[in-house]
Structure 1
Amino acid sequence: MDDIYANVECGKPGQSRPSPSQTVPRSSERRFHGAVVLSLSLLSLLLLAGLIGLSVHHHKNSNAELSTGEANLTKCLQASDIKLSSLTEERDQLNTSLTEMTKELKRLQSLSKQKKTCPEGWRMFSGTCYLLSTQSGSWEKGREDCRARGADLVIIDSLEEQTLLTGFAAGKKFWWIGLTDRDEEGTWKWIDGTPLTQSYWWEGQPDNGGGDSQWGEEDCAHILTSRDFDKNWNDQSCTASVKWICEKMA
């Protein structure tokens, strides 16, 4: 009994010593918590390092793309400059060629004017040769004669030419010209097929014979030079015997 009391008195009132089974779990728990903290710290460091690496890589890629874009833009600008320079050279060459061609054309025109002449017996006006026939005949005969001379019956396409021919043929009465409505009555055309637009008919003409059978169909035109220069055309039967005027280029 005394031994028992002695053992009790040695301890502090209300306290007892922890058993080994109570101290081991607390120590393991602290080590476990430390390991977790360390692992999380390492993981954070790894994530931070990864983020830094990605940032650096993205920055490098961005710089590389920017450099590539600048290089491509520079190439495009250089190519544009080269093309513009080439076009400028071509333009200058074309201008030079055009200038030379213009000079050559003027030279040829000058020579052409110098060499233009009409055959003997023909009259020249503005680069055209005219011949007043010395014989008479039908409209068709007059045209055949003109063609045999490398010409055709005259086509009058200006008041200036009309006035000139009236003056050429002054003192004579009738002269066939290259105008007819044989294809369609009332539709007058020149021998080259062009329709009549400017005319110099005298008053009341053309009248296709005025309905008088003695004149027949009047389908061919002639100049009556005894009348006013701007009103001296008349329609006549194509078979009538009339002189004619031939025309050809000099």
Structure 2
Amino acid sequence: MIISGFFGSINVTDPKEADIILDDIIDSGATKRKYKALYPRKKFITLFEKDKKVDWVNFPFEKNINEDQSDTVVRLLQIIGEDPNREGLLETPRRYLSAFEEFLNPPTFNMTTFAAEKTDEMIVQLDIPFYSFCEHHLLPFFGKGYIAYIPHKKIVGLSKLARTLETFSRRLQNQERITNQVADYLQENLEAKGVAVVLKARHLCMEMRGVKTSDTNTVTSKLLGYFKKDERTRAEFLNLIGNHRN
């Protein structure tokens, strides 16, 4: 796309008349190299480059960034064949952006710890609900978490286990990464003798599309310390989960 006129933004076909040259995606880089060679003094803007992390692109002709973000959702509605001007969709761009902003910004919390006071038995929290978004398809996956740790010198308030899971879930994720991040974070902050995290979840990217298998659960686990190296400790934790489910 070749654009002329920062204030008025008129598309032109002759690059010589353009103020900026816009490429929606750089894959091989051939287009960028061609135009940079022919018109080295013209500004070349790229929306997306596969091998490079780019910031949000602010075009010179944009006035209100929030409105421009909403325009992106409008364009998405048009791409899937919807009319963004029909009554039910008039407020959808604003609501969509607001919902994502809310979900992807979980409340912060302090991982306050306390002296263990001779507490060295397993502490387990079951059925912790969590919600996340698949980073591949931007569709939800959700389920329950089962978290345990064996204190060494520190314990933590029970709400912090749920907060930890919430914090790592409320972002674009995959289930395996959440499991690992929660376990590693708890181990780092509690310096526990062992940490165990099991997540059980349903993925709408698998139920709504693709293989379309409904009511299928995916289970992931991360075991550290005694839970990994001691068979009896591991069995006790897994039995607690199994007996609870039954």
* Larger CA Rg, structure 1 vs 2: 1
Higher relative contact order (CA 8 A, sep 6+): 1
Greater per-residue strand proportion: 2
Greater per-residue helix proportion: 1
Whether these two folds match at TM > 0.5 is no
TM superposition score normalised by structure 2:
0.18
